[in-house]
Structure 1
Amino acid sequence: MKTSGLNYRHLYFFWIVAKEGGVTRAAERLGLAVQTISMQLSALELSIGKQLLEPQGRRLVPTEAGRLAFSYCEQIFLLGDQLQDALDEAEAGKMRLTVGISDSLPKLIAFRLLQATQTMSKQVRLVCMEDEFENLLADLALGKLDVVLTDRTVRAGGSLKVFSHLLGESDMKLFGVPRLADKYRGNFPASLHHAPLLVPTRNNALRGRIDTWLVQHKVRAEIAGEFEDNAMLNTFGRNGMGLFFAPSALAHDIEDQLGAVLVGDAPELREHFYAISNERKIRHPAIEAIISTVHSGLFAH
């Protein structure tokens, strides 16, 4: 069998040095002598015939070849950690689900979806990562994630071979703290003229639908804030900076957790929720449990 000839211990030392920015800090982290790490770095560079690190001020930074090697190390050692965790969990009768959660997805929706995994016969250990949509897709393609939960689909014809699975949809309602709700509830939605609104940024699909809804109802509201992160939007809404839209499926949670009350219904506005996977057919039991819960009426209101 052909092997790469790489010494993975040497590769691991390179990865730590690159992360720490120097041999001394890496040696402290690993509990080894500086000379030991320096010798093994030299042996690695000699074996592959390329310089991987170069001095920049007081730090060591990767060369162009080093940056490429570092990106592979990130995958190699992350997967190594996941392998060890998976083996330990399998021995203990547990299952691991590594989930990417888009920063634009309502966190209460993510909780509702993932809550289904906690009622399975086999215990599920959740590992949740939040990031921007594109970054999560890249991690999914690299095998760092089992699934991505998001509010948008993958654009057809993209370079990544991933698949979108529609989980469900919910119509929207407008909420606000009681002070604002009392002021703008009457004669809704015409009452929203000059009302302060908190909305997603324009790279969010829902934002375009909100803008269209305002135009259709001939409302010229004041945009008090635009947010990429849905949790941040809700925080500002909870503190009375403006009115905000949320899925009707979360109406009770919005009132209980954010202290916001209903201003009016916007049934023409709908938000969609997706699971993105590397497989056209979902095979992970925990993801199947999520989909089964959705089909049983998770988004019914």
Structure 2
Amino acid sequence: MNHKHLFYFWQVAKAGSVARAAAAINVTPQTLSGQIGLLESSLGTELFARQGRNIVLTEAGKMALEYADELFALSAELEVMIKHHPQGRPTEFRVGVSDAVPKSLACTLLEPAIRGEQPTRLACREWQLDRLLAQLAVHELDMVISDGPLPPGFSVRAYNHRLLDSGVSFLVAREQAAAHAADFPACLNHLPLLLPGEDSTLRQSLQPWLERKRIGARVVGEFDDTALMATFGLRGVGAFPIASIAEAEFVASGELAVLGRTTEVQVSYFAISVERRLTHPSVLAVIEAAQRLGNPPEADKSGPN
């Protein structure tokens, strides 16, 4: 079997379209179609079937995709293991950071990776999780740091490595804090709220807690980017939640204060990698940095800090 033909099939199967796959890997649709035709000829069966204007996998195609997923995941793992063997340390560490991860936490986790014995160049990309996972799938990234595990149904084999857990703190502009902090969490009924976007794991964990506490949240803004949400909070637009472990980043200037904290809502951070057994020295440095982080502040304390 020609593995180049199999790679082209794999790209089309993941993209769901010859045109999208061709654009992603910078070849012409005609080349892709021709190479897949050769693969089908060598296997003696069709891997795709037409369904209106779309193409779908045949039963043989679905089977081939399962094997291709595993083959290319193992290939990536082999490359990492050989390339980053102790005798050949990496010169570049390519990391994707979900935009829901606080900047200070990302820095704390990643800094040890570039302060090791051998010089390492950090290439850090911040984007939405689905875009970063797409880059991880084609081995453009070594690791993704996210506020949640690998989503169900992701087509390429990858592995979750839990980094740490944190409770949640609610912050507000300091001038608003004194009037509201004494009766946390009931005070959230009287403040406009800024919340992470609906796809955020923090938002999904927070919603049931708000309902249990009978808090009728008046949501005035939703944000995919934590830093942007905090900027609106800083300007007095509303209170907002962040992981308690990153609290110091936001209150350091003295312009924001803590309304209260809870451990009833948990945020978990993960490293997502194509490595089943972690060997990449920079990834190991991130895991060790997470293990060294202390516990977040105690729960359910009120008052400006």
TM-score by length of 1: 0.69
Q: For residue 132 of structure 1, what is the amino acid of its counterpart?
A: Q
Q: Does 1:132 align with 2:128?
A: yes
* Structure 1 pair 182–125 and aligned structure 2 pair: CA distance change class (3 A): same
Q: 1:223-268, CA deviations, whole angstroms, 9 ceiling, x for partnerless residues?
A: 1211112221122122221111112222222111572111111121
Q: 1:62-111, CA deviations, whole angstroms, 9 ceiling, x for partnerless residues?
A: xx97764442239xxxxxxxxxxxx9xxxx98621111111222222211
- In structure 2, the partner of 1:105 is 101
Match of 2:274 among 268, 273, 278: 278
Residues 49-60 of structure 1 mapped to structure 2, 5 A cutoff = none
Match of 1:242 among 231, 238, 244: 238
* Structure 1 pair 128–169 and aligned structure 2 pair: CA distance change class (3 A): same
Of structures 1 and 2, the one scoring higher in RCO (CA 8 A, sep 6+) is: 2
The whole-number CA distance in structure 1 between the counterparts of 2:164 and 2:3 is 46
The whole-number CA distance in structure 1 between the counterparts of 2:135 and 2:254 is 32
Q: For residue 233 of structure 1, what is the amino acid of its counterpart?
A: M
**Contact (CA 8 Å) 1:97, 1:127: kept in 2 or not?**
yes
TM-score by length of 2: 0.68
- In structure 2, the partner of 1:7 is none
The CA RMSD measured in Å over matched residues stands at 2.8
Match of 1:211 among 187, 192, 207: 207
- In structure 2, the partner of 1:181 is 177
**Contact (CA 8 Å) 1:103, 1:130: kept in 2 or not?**
yes
Secondary structure of the equivalent of 1:268? strand
**Contact (CA 8 Å) 1:234, 1:258: kept in 2 or not?**
no
**Contact (CA 8 Å) 2:89, 2:281: kept in 1 or not?**
no
Residues 188-207 of structure 1 mapped to structure 2, 5 A cutoff = 188-207=184-203
Q: For residue 193 of structure 1, what is the amino acid of its counterpart?
A: N
**Contact (CA 8 Å) 1:95, 1:125: kept in 2 or not?**
yes
Q: 1:6-47, CA deviations, whole angstroms, 9 ceiling, x for partnerless residues?
A: xxxxxxxxxxxxxxxxxxxxxxxxxxxxxxxxxxxxxxxxxx
Secondary structure of the equivalent of 2:114? helix
* Structure 1 pair 72–263 and aligned structure 2 pair: CA distance change class (3 A): same
Q: Does 1:117 align with 2:113?
A: yes
The whole-number CA distance in structure 2 between the counterparts of 1:149 and 1:261 is 27
* Structure 1 pair 298–137 and aligned structure 2 pair: CA distance change class (3 A): farther
Q: For residue 235 of structure 1, what is the amino acid of its counterpart?
A: T
Residues 1-301 of structure 1 mapped to structure 2, 5 A cutoff = 68-73=21-26, 95-257=91-253, 259-301=255-297
Q: 1:135-170, CA deviations, whole angstroms, 9 ceiling, x for partnerless residues?
A: 111110101000001101113453121111110111
The structure having more radius of gyration, on CA atoms, is: 1
- Greater Cα offset, 230-239 or 271-280: 230-239
**Contact (CA 8 Å) 1:180, 1:243: kept in 2 or not?**
no
Paired residues in the alignment total: 228
* Structure 1 pair 68–254 and aligned structure 2 pair: CA distance change class (3 A): closer
Question: How far apart are 1:119 and its partner, in Å?
Answer: 2.7
Q: For residue 24 of structure 2, what is the amino acid of its counterpart?
A: S
The whole-number CA distance in structure 2 between the counterparts of 1:231 and 1:204 is 14
The whole-number CA distance in structure 2 between the counterparts of 1:258 and 1:276 is 34
